[in-house]
Amino acid sequence: MKIYIGSDHAGYELKHYLMDNFKDAEFHDIGFIEFNKDDDYPKIAHDLSNRVLSEKGLGILICGTGLGMCMGANRHKGIRAANCLTPEMAELTRKHNNANILCLSARLIKKEDTLEILKTFLETEFEGSRHEKRVEMLDN
C-alpha cells in the first residue's frame, strides 16, 4: 500500500525519522522536501489529501501540533484525518472511523512514541459493521 507522507518545517525531522525506521513501507514524500522552500502546511495537507483520494492510499501529515495539518486535510470529502497522540487513538480511529490520514505532532509527542503510533495506524483494519453507516455520514 502506498503511504503518502508530508510535513511542514516543524515536522521535517520527524518525517525523516519515521521513514528511516519503517524501511519496508512504500513512502511517497509529498511535502517540505528541503528547507528554504514553500512549507505552508495547508498546501501540503491539500496536496497529500488529493493523492490519498486519487491513489487510495494512506497518509501521514506532521506539523508542530498536528492540528493544522488535520484541519487542512479534513476539508476534503472522503478524507478522515485524525490527530493521534497515543497508539490507542490510532487503533480506534482506524477501527471505528476508517481514518485514512494520520496526523502527528512533532512538538508534543516523543519521537520514539510516534513509531508505535504509526505502526498501530498502519496495522489496524477498519471494523466496518455498525461503524460503516457512521463513516458514510461524515461525507454528507
CB atoms within 10 A of CB 12: 19
User: Which grid cell sits at 80?
Assistant: 478522515
Q: Is 63 a catalytic residue?
A: yes
Name 5's bridge partners. 29, 60
Is 76 one of the annotated active-site residues of the chain?
no
The residue from 9, 28, 96, 131 that is catalytic is 96
Instruction: Give dist(CA 5, CA 60) in Å, integer.
Output: 5
Let me know how many helices (H) and strands (E) the chain has, helices first.
Answer: 6, 5
Of the residues 9, 28, 46, 63, only one is catalytic, namely 63
Q: Which residues are catalytic?
A: 63, 96
